[in-house]
């Protein structure tokens, strides 16, 4: 009998939604839902992924409501301050939410924030069971949402596809626990590690597919950060030109001595917020001129260089929870040396250009012994058109 049920639960959703399915006992459908937990949670995760980049410092969350083998409601958190995924899914389900199973990628909130607590909405809907991918690291929520549901007699299962959920919300998970932005380094180089030729030419290192992925990454981060050298060399707009409509990140320029020209496109284009990180020794008149032009200037540290650690703390205070670092070798090296990079994405073009003076991916004093090298964990390698993409998470201590 059990093997028959397992085979049945693996059938298509069309079969489960057919008139034949309504004749089965409710208890059988609850068992089928349990056997299909990963299937429905994968769907909830796919829904959440579609909203990546839209929720600001909030997490991305997906929700699926299932009753008697049928999906009766789906929802995604679309924007900070608006209804959470559970609310959208339960509204779609309506009266059919009673006795249903609610699949949600993150622990339902139990506190009043910008929106009412989702736990109470689930309780009011009289759901029979809730399946949660991962707990919420937010101290205001952590464990409380699950406990509240169980208090009301709702069966709660936690940990279905937990790792996928945590990785999807890695930016939120860091920010909500540290108030520091999650920093993703992205760079494109030749096989010999050059990000430009000895003359400074860098267009284009990689192909179209890799560049399209980079614009998607910009959409998925709240800010993009470059050094003043990049602005002076290329006068970039630093916007998002993805193949689908996307959100432009806040522009952050690291400029210790305020060399940013007032006619630079990141200054004259006021459609996107621009922040300049500078040192305590930068000229006051330059700072005032940039601020008059609509640029926000943050003084970080008292020395001649920007204190990057202080800068990250300040950006976190202004609720910038994620940064895509697209710096040159010096900024990349300084951020890595300071242990401020959380994730590294390296695109390699199948090219070799050489050049002693050609800039490389990282420029800093360097590690003395190979045994002390900064290693990457959870390394992933894939193709982006004709280019190679290597990603991973740096380990700063051994």
Residues carrying an active site annotation: 86
The response to whether 271 counts as a known ligand-binding position is no
Q: Is 143 annotated as a binding residue?
A: no
304 is in an annotated binding site: no
Residue 188 known to bind ligand:
yes
Smallest CA-to-CA distance from 298 within 332, 250, 344, 345 is with 250
* Sequence-ordered list of residues with C-beta below 8 angstroms from that of 390, at least 6 positions apart, any chain: 345, 346, 348, 379, 380, 381
200 labeled binding residue: no
330 is in an annotated binding site: yes
Q: Are 220 and 51 in contact (CB under 8 A)?
A: no
How many Cβ atoms from other residues are within 10 Å of residue 288's Cβ? 11
Residue 230 annotated as part of some ligand binding site: yes
- Is 332 annotated in a binding site? The answer is yes
274 carries a ligand binding annotation: no
| Cα–Cα nearest to 242, from 217, 216, 271 | 216
**99 annotated to bind ligand:** no
Q: In sequence order, what DSSP letters do the residues of 122-142 get, joined into one string?
A: HHHHT-SEEEEEE----TTTT
Both tokens assigned to 82: 């608006």
State yes or no: 389 annotated in a binding site: no
Q: What residues contact 19, with CB distance under 8 A and at least 6 apart?
A: none
User: Is 204 flagged in the annotation as binding?
Assistant: yes
Residue 335: closest CA among 354, 315, 355, 352 = 315
Q: How far is 49 from 169, CA to CA, in rounded Å?
A: 10
Residue 238 labelled as part of a binding site? yes
Quick check: 189 and 346 in contact, CB under 8 A? yes
* Phi-psi map region of 57: left, alpha, beta (phi>0 left; psi -120 to 50 alpha): alpha
**Helix, strand or coil for residue 78?**
coil
- Residue numbering of the annotated binding site: 84, 109, 118, 188, 202, 204, 218, 230, 234, 238, 241, 256, 326, 328-334
- Residue numbering of the annotated binding site for substrate: 202, 218, 238, 241, 326
- Residue numbering of the annotated binding site for NADP(+): 188, 204, 230, 234, 256, 328-334
- Residue numbering of the annotated binding site for Zn(2+): 84, 109, 118
């Amino acid at each position: 009998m059990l093997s028959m049920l397992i085979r049945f639960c693996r059938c298509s959703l069309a079969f489960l939604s057919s008139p034949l399915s309504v004749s089965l006992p409710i208890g059988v459908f609850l068992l089928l839902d349990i056997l299909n937990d990963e299937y429905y949670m994968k769907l909830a995760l796919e829904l959440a992924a579609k909203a990546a980049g839209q929720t600001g410092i909030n997490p991305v969350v997906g929700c699926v409501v299932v009753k008697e083998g049928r999906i009766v409601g789906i929802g995604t958190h679309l924007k900070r301050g608006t209804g959470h995924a559970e609310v959208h899914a339960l509204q779609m389900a309506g009266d059919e939410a009673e006795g249903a199973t609610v699949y949600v990628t993150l622990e339902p909130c139990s506190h009043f924030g910008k929106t009412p607590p989702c736990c109470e909405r689930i309780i009011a809907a009289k759901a029979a069971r809730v399946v949660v991918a991962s707990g919420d690291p937010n101290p205001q929520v952590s464990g409380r949402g699950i406990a509240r549901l169980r208090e009301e007699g709702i069966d709660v299962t936690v940990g279905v596809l937990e790792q996928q959920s945590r990785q999807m919300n890695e930016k939120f998970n860091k920010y909500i626990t540290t108030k520091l932005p999650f920093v993703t380094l992205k760079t494109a180089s030749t096989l010999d590690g050059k990000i430009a030729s000895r003359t400074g030419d860098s267009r284009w290192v990689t192909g179209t597919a890799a560049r399209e992925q980079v614009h998607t990454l910009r959409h998925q981060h709240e800010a993009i950060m470059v050094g003043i050298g990049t602005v002076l060399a290329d006068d970039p707009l630093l916007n998002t030109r993805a193949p689908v409509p996307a959100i432009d990140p806040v522009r952050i320029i690291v400029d210790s001595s305020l060399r940013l020209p007032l006619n630079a496109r990141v200054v004259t284009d006021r459609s996107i917020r621009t922040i300049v990180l500078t040192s305590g020794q930068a000229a006051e008149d330059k700072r005032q001129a940039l601020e008059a032009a609509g640029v926000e200037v943050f003084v970080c540290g008292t020395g001649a260089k920007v204190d990057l650690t202080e800068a990250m703390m300040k950006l976190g205070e202004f609720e910038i929870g994620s940064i895509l670092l697209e710096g040159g070798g010096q900024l990349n090296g300084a951020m890595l040396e300071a242990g401020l990079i959380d994730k590294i994405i390296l695109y390699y073009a199948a090219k070799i250009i050489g050049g002693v003076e050609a800039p490389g991916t990282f420029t800093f004093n360097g590690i003395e012994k190979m045994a002390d090298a900064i290693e990457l964990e959870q390394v992933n390698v894939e193709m982006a058109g004709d280019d190679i993409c290597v990603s991973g998470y740096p380990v700063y201590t051994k």
